[in-house]
Structure 1
Amino acid sequence: MNEKLIDDAGKVRFGLLGNSVSKINIDDFWLRKPRGGQASAWNNWVGFKQFQYFGAVSEQLLFGCAIAHLRHTAIAFIYLYHPQHGMLLEISRRIPLGIGVTLSNDTTNGCSRFHAGNLAIELNHQGERKSLSVTLGKRLHIDAWFTEVDYQPLGIASRIGRNGWAYARKVAGVSCHGSIQLDSQKFDLTALNSFAHHDFSAGFLRRETFWNWACLSGRNQHGDRIGLNLSCGVNETSFSENAVWLNGQLHHLGLCYFDYDWDRPEQPWQITSEDGSVSLCFTPHGSHQQRLNLLLFASDFKQLFGQFNGQIRLSNGTNVPVDGLWGFVEDQYAKW
């Protein structure tokens, strides 16, 4: 197994990489100018972005937690949503220049930390075990984890523009364990039959970037364990991150189109693929939104959570029904 993303010549290993990359050895890469020659040390440093996301869904509780290091700032958010009672908690923090924030470049054995005021987030990778720990003073404590035993993660590296690249390692449709304590309420993630998804992404993205994303996890009416990851706007240069997991086995899907009302994203979304393998309707139930305008840097982020209905067709002709499974979609613009 080749553990490094960057080879000895300083080139990125592009393609569908599966589980073959464990280290984003960024020190072995130097950004080039679009017209040739090495970029400045400043552009090389500020151009590299990192993201990590851990979420879980069940019929009784959903949560999402992310850390992003954008060089000029680091951002973290956490929310808990109860389908019956609505939003239970929603909080975000920002640290200028990401001072004190660490995001690991090791996808297999590493620890990422964000600490601002009374909010502390830690994401740990220990082989096949991925875990999340969140503390918000005395009000909230999350201890969640999953394993990748008998599971095929998605790994992809693709070109971004002429000189950039993006790497993503994604997981969906795995059983989530642990507990959440919010004020006087306690949730047992195993007892709730929760399913987790995880996103490890890094790279040199476009100065202005936009994407849509969809993810779901759960069991359908036939008892099959399903995980889905779809995206449009980032990883489509020669390769695609679109995939579905059926009982832990990875199946690649075609390019997808997200049809929704930009001004009213709370209305149903239609997600379809050019090869007919994906036909889904997403009905939002709630959202987490953030907007930022600092002239040189700006963002408009909407992550909506709700239910998917429709079907997915595998390349072998198998139809996989999706009947009310919970998940997420995103509408994201960033200028960084």
Structure 2
Amino acid sequence: MQQLIQANGQPHYGILEQTPQHINYRDFDYRSPMGRKLGALSKWRNFHQFQYFGLISPTLIGGCALAELSLVAIGFVYLYHPLSGRMIERQFKCPLGLGTNFSQTPDEGVCELRQGRNLLRLENVGNPLEKRLLVELDDGTRIDARFNEQDPVFNPMSLCTPTAVNGWVYARKVAGVRCSGEVRSALGDFDLRAIDAFAHHDWSAGYMRRETFWNWACLSGEAQGRRVGLNLSCGVNETSFTENCFWLDGELLKVDSVRFEFDRDRDMSPWAIRSFDGQVDLRFEAHGLHRERLNLGILASNFRQIFGRFSGELRPFGQPVLPIDNLWGFVEDQYAKW
């Protein structure tokens, strides 16, 4: 698929067999809730995009995100060492996106943030189909991680859903792929292949609800000799279609709607995550937390990304039950106004 927005100004909706080569949001027939055509300024102000690259292993956990919200660009990166409980984390905010670059090509482009001697860079390469994370911080921390979606073959979740009365969201999700590269930091030096690290990736963009929230769960690892990835959400990308799925050895298996049960007043309390169709029944035990709060009036965010272990069962239709025993992953609880 060459472009997400069609000649009639509307997106291609649904679960897509191919990743659009260009998220041509400026061609969207964007209107107010009362049907008035909106111009270039409104299209710029209300279009948001973000990208996330996560690392998972029993030895080291990490995450890096970049978000472009028109009035401000935000980036964060963290590393967590489960054995010692030590953590490195940094956050960056760039008014009007100064010092940042965001590409609207999910499989071929660069998103990056530069601030002083700090660099957060997410590269997407089309041939071979590879995702790369490069982080260089002024304290000497360096992350260079990558994965290939074609060796072995992997089927990403690619979808576009209507949002509110006048918007849409495109998302491309990957989980359950092995990762290579290296990390150098105050937590130690790590060869990602040697510690059997897995990765997950999220590329999302669109005209999202002005005020929204979501819960999200993701795991990547190996269970019973099979490569397993999981992507579940509630509160976003649920109009007509959902992004909920898991992967077994790179094969995408669709999941129905999902319920997240947890205590918002206790950051490290257990979570229960179950799908309506019975394919997912998991419990999550927290081990660490990355948190951000931002309240600028017209922009606000209350964000918790919690890393820990999943246990329970995946029950793919027509296949044996797959026990999940203490696999590392993430859950997320976020409120956003933008």
Q: What TM-score comes out, normalization by structure 1 length?
A: 0.97
The question of whether the paired residues in 1 share the 8 Å contact of 2:155 and 2:251 is answered with yes
Indicate whether 1:140 and 2:135 are aligned: no
C-alpha distance in 2 between matches for 1:184 and 1:147: 26
The aligned counterpart of 1:253 is 255
Instruction: Give CA-to-partner distance per residue, 1:93-112, whole Å, 9 cap, x none.
Output: 10111113111111111111
Indicate whether 1:280 and 2:279 are aligned: no
The aligned counterpart of 1:158 is 161
C-alpha distance in 2 between matches for 1:3 and 1:217: 30
C-alpha distance in 1 between matches for 2:187 and 2:209: 44
C-alpha distance in 1 between matches for 2:68 and 2:26: 17
Q: CA RMSD for the aligned pairs?
A: 1.2
TM-superposed CA distance for 1:317, in Å, is: 4.3
Q: Please list, as runs of the form range in 1=range in 2, the aligned pairs for 1:315-326 lying within 5 A after superposition.
A: 315-326=317-328
TM-superposed CA distance for 1:162, in Å, is: 1.2
Long gaps (5+) in structure 1: none
Q: Which amino acid aligns with 1:131?
A: R
Indicate whether 1:15 and 2:10 are aligned: no
C-alpha distance in 2 between matches for 1:207 and 1:318: 42
Long gaps (5+) in structure 2: none
Which of the residues 253, 266, 269 maps onto 2:268? 266
The question of whether the paired residues in 2 share the 8 Å contact of 1:135 and 1:141 is answered with yes
TM-superposed CA distance for 1:318, in Å, is: 3.3
The question of whether the paired residues in 1 share the 8 Å contact of 2:211 and 2:337 is answered with yes
Indicate whether 1:327 and 2:329 are aligned: yes
Indicate whether 1:170 and 2:173 are aligned: yes
TM-superposed CA distance for 1:43, in Å, is: 2.1
TM-superposed CA distance for 1:38, in Å, is: 0.7
Which of the residues 219, 225, 232 maps onto 1:230? 232
Q: What TM-score comes out, normalization by structure 2 length?
A: 0.96
Indicate whether 1:98 and 2:97 are aligned: yes
Moved over 4 A (4+): none
Change (3 A) 1:268 1:183: closer
Instruction: Give CA-to-partner distance per residue, 1:261-295, whole Å, 9 cap, x none.
Output: 01113100000111111110000101000001111
C-alpha distance in 2 between matches for 1:87 and 1:302: 18
| Identity percentage of aligned residues | 48
C-alpha distance in 1 between matches for 2:316 and 2:31: 39
The question of whether the paired residues in 2 share the 8 Å contact of 1:19 and 1:152 is answered with no
Instruction: Give CA-to-partner distance per residue, 1:38-85, whole Å, 9 cap, x none.
Output: 124332211100000001100100000000001111110000001111
C-alpha distance in 1 between matches for 2:19 and 2:85: 40
The question of whether the paired residues in 2 share the 8 Å contact of 1:18 and 1:152 is answered with no
Q: Please list, as runs of the form range in 1=range in 2, the aligned pairs for 1:202-241 lying within 5 A after superposition.
A: 202-220=205-223, 222-241=224-243
The aligned counterpart of 2:41 is 42
Equivalent position SS for 2:43: helix
C-alpha distance in 1 between matches for 2:99 and 2:89: 23
